[in-house]
């Protein structure tokens, strides 16, 4: 970081945007194994929030890996930088007044902690989407577990790379034991309490 940048004071602040929107801005950070249901839950929650007039946005592999982070690989370094940049974008979006729903495996506790610090702890809601590995592997929606088992994908979380579950997530759902609707209801209640 250079000293070639000087802070301007922007006239329009997050607070003013929150007032215009009629709601606070937050990052709802879904973490869990591939196939645990992060994207499905994020999508369902976004539909609910949008209908209620919340300004929302989903960050996930679809819109981040294809653009901003298209230069990164799936090595450990690439995945750490991937999560860092997502945290920074989420931070900008919170500043812009949005409720950001992010759906990334984000397996490492220290990376999630870093995002929490970037975004600000008050704006960060961690959602642990739990589901046993064997169930995720049975689902294998994207066929990635099969590829990982065949050695075609390296550093795949749950196979040859660890997942560090959050110790104290703000919201815990288990997509194996609960229905989508049960998880969603629980999410909505918890998220609303923190808004």
Instruction: Give the footprint of a second copy on this chain (CB under 8 A).
Output: 1-2, 4-8, 10-12, 16-17, 20-21, 39, 43, 46-47, 50, 53, 55-68, 70, 73-74, 85, 88-89, 91-93, 95-98, 118, 141-142, 144, 153
Copy the structure tokens of residue 54: 């919340």
Q: Where are the beta strands (DSSP E) in 66-180?
A: 99-103, 124-130, 171-174
Nearer to a second copy among residue 110 and residue 177 (C-beta): 110
Contact of 153 with 143, CB cutoff 8 Å: no
Catalytic residue among 11, 36, 106, 161: 106
In the complex, minimum distance from the CB of residue 167 to a second copy, in angstroms, rounded to a whole number: 27
Q: How many CA atoms lie less than 13 Å away from 24 in the CB half-sphere?
A: 12
Nearer to a second copy among residue 32 and residue 97 (C-beta): 97
**β-pairing verdict for 124-130 and 56-60:** unpaired
In the complex, minimum distance from the CB of residue 34 to a second copy, in angstroms, rounded to a whole number: 9
Calculate the CA 112 to chain-centre distance: 9
Catalytic residue check, 106: yes
In the complex, minimum distance from the CB of residue 37 to a second copy, in angstroms, rounded to a whole number: 12
Nearer to a second copy among residue 118 and residue 131 (C-beta): 118
In the complex, minimum distance from the CB of residue 11 to a second copy, in angstroms, rounded to a whole number: 5
Identify the three-state secondary structure at position 71. coil
Q: How many whole angstroms separate alpha carbon 69 and alpha carbon 52?
A: 31
Q: How many whole angstroms separate alpha carbon 195 and alpha carbon 118?
A: 19
Nearer to a second copy among residue 21 and residue 190 (C-beta): 21
Please list the active-site residues.
106
């Amino acid at each position: 970081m250079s000293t070639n940048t000087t802070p301007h004071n922007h006239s329009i602040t997050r607070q003013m945007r929150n007032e215009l929107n009629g709601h606070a801005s937050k990052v709802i950070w879904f973490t869990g194994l591939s196939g645990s249901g992060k994207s499905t839950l994020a999508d369902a929650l976004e539909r609910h929030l949008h209908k209620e007039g919340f300004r929302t946005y989903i960050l996930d592999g679809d819109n981040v890996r294809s653009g901003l982070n298209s230069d990164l690989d799936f090595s450990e370094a690439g995945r750490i930088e991937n999560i860092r940049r997502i945290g920074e974008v989420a931070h900008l979006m919170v500043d812009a007044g949005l409720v950001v729903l992010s759906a990334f495996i984000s397996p490492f506790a220290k990376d999630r902690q870093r995002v929490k610090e970037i975004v600000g702890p008050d704006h960060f809601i961690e959602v642990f989407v739990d589901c046993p590995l064997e169930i995720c592997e049975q689902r294998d929606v994207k066929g990635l577990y099969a590829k990982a088992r065949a050695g075609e994908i390296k550093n795949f979380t749950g196979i040859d790379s660890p997942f560090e579950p959050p110790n104290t997530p703000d919201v815990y759902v288990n997509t194996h034991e609960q229905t989508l609707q049960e998880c969603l209801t629980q999410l909505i209640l918890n998220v609303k309490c923190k808004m």
